[in-house]
Amino acid sequence: MTQANTLVLGGTALAVPRPTPGDMLAVAERMRELANARCGDPVEFAAGYAQKLPAAVAALLLNEALKVGLSGARASEDAVLDEYATLRGVRWRLWFHALRPAGSADPADADQWVTPDNRLDVARKLDEALRFEALDPKDPPPPTGTSG
């Protein structure tokens, strides 16, 4: 069984299971999705400016926007890292790490726990609860799937 730490929010204790490598990948992917959504669609952005530019420049702009759009890599790494502390990012991470394992099927369940005023405090407490403990070499290896 996966060991769990405790996260206390508003007097309520929530179990936070040790994240698996699969969990960490899922969180990283979701933070990239949120950051990309914040950046908007590069093709739409370019199309809005293309009509104001000379034809050759507009074609180059649209070509580059298509490349970026198709690659899926719109947000910078800094923007992805920033997403871990945004309201949407903290809410989703709280749901994924604490509420989902407790039976919540809806990420919106985290909205009541994380507000614009307390998001950084919740993020700090969640990050503390997610810390990996030193592994004993005699213990079995941690699971590699997703928890829950």
pLDDT tens for each residue of 9-68: 989 999 999 898 899 999 999 999 898 888 777 777 788 878 888 889 888 888 888 887
Tell me what pLDDT residue 1 has: 39
pLDDT tens digit sequence for 82-124 = 999 999 999 999 999 999 999 999 999 999 999 999 999 999 9
Counting beta carbons within 10 angstroms of the beta carbon of residue 126, is it exposed (0 to 12), middle (13 to 18) or buried (19 or more)? buried
**Boundaries of every domain in the chain:** 1-133+140-148
Stated as kind and residue range, the H or E segment containing 116 is none
Total-model pTM: 0.72
Counting beta carbons within 10 angstroms of the beta carbon of residue 39, is it exposed (0 to 12), middle (13 to 18) or buried (19 or more)? middle
